[in-house]
Structure 1
Amino acid sequence: MKRTPQIPVPCPCGLPAAYADCCGRWHHGPLHLQAPDAQALMRSRYSAYVLDELDYLLQTWHPDTRPPALEPNEPGTRWLGLDVRRHDRIDHGHEIVEFVARVRINGRATRIHETSRFTRLAGIWMYVDGDVE
């Protein structure tokens, strides 16, 4: 039987790495929920939005601000890219990430420009909230 070589799927977060070696390792497997800093978590959350990894999004949302549920992407949604503008460490357990995400929903392009706050809770980075511009 002829074996077809596996082609690595690029990571949706835009880093030059395969999904399995980038955000995928935080989504599933032995490194699940172990993003090393807020920027890695934010990139993995962007990838989770692209891939409808709703459980991961809820698991990485701080319990004080987490919604009860999330809806999958609407049909016709296409995530177009992520630009991390800034990543600031406040202290050992608090960081800020400013980003712009581009998405097209039913042909209409939108930019999400947010400065997000993250905290470390029980050793896991969590999204708390953000200011949208």
Structure 2
Amino acid sequence: MGSLKPSAACPCGSGKPYAACCGPLHAGEKPAPTAEALMRSRYAAYVLKLDDYLRATWHASTRPSELDLAADDSKWLGLEVRAHRQQDETHATVDFVARYRIAGRGYRLHELSRFIKEDGIWMYIDGMINP
């Protein structure tokens, strides 16, 4: 599992310190207030290899039975949120591009992610790659 100094810039790209951004979400101190905040915190969790957080914020209907980021040699380089759309009180989408590198080769992941809010908590459902 990765670690980050609380004063360090948050990996989600918000420009805020980790302790004032995704840190409290990762620590379970508070839920994400919006689907975009959840998506950013999930990106940061991939950067920091926080398997448990990713599984906890993945909707039960689509959650993988296992997730092992320790074996993943991706180096995440940056996140661009292109759009956050809230369809109603409990459904939202986030369009984003994440850049990463594997074995020195650069890649871009463009995804339109779907989120649902249940019992006051935003959860990731799934995403369409290269929408």
Structure-1-length-normalised TM-score:
0.90
Task: Report whether the alignment pairs 1:42 with 2:73.
Answer: no
Deviations 1:73-95 (A, max 9, x none): 54642110000000000000000
Task: Report whether the alignment pairs 1:88 with 2:88.
Answer: no
Match 1:71 to one of 47, 51, 68:
68
Task: Report whether the alignment pairs 1:58 with 2:55.
Answer: yes
> Could you say which residue in structure 1 is the equivalent of 2:25?
26
**Aligned letter for 1:9?**
A
- Aligned pair in 2 of structure 1 residues 75, 131: CA closer, same or farther (>3 Å)? closer
Q: Tell me, what secondary structure is at the counterpart of 1:67?
A: coil
Count of residues in Structure 1 that have an aligned counterpart in Structure 2: 126
Task: Quote the sequence identity (%).
Answer: 52
Deviations 1:21-74 (A, max 9, x none): 10111110521xx10010000000000000011100000000000000111154
**Aligned letter for 2:24?**
R
1:20 deviation in Å? 1.1
> Could you say which residue in structure 2 is the equivalent of 1:10?
9
**Aligned letter for 2:21?**
C
- Aligned pair in 2 of structure 1 residues 71, 29: CA closer, same or farther (>3 Å)? closer
- Give 5+ residue unaligned stretches, structure 1: 1-5
Q: Tell me, what secondary structure is at the counterpart of 2:79?
A: strand
Task: Report whether the alignment pairs 1:121 with 2:121.
Answer: no
Distance in 2 (CA, whole Å) between partners of 1:16 and 1:73 is 26
What is the Cα-based RMSD across aligned positions, in Å?
Answer: 1.5
Distance in 2 (CA, whole Å) between partners of 1:64 and 1:77 is 26
> Could you say which residue in structure 2 is the equivalent of 1:3?
none
Matches within 5 A, 1:94-113: 94-113=91-110
Structure-2-length-normalised TM-score:
0.91
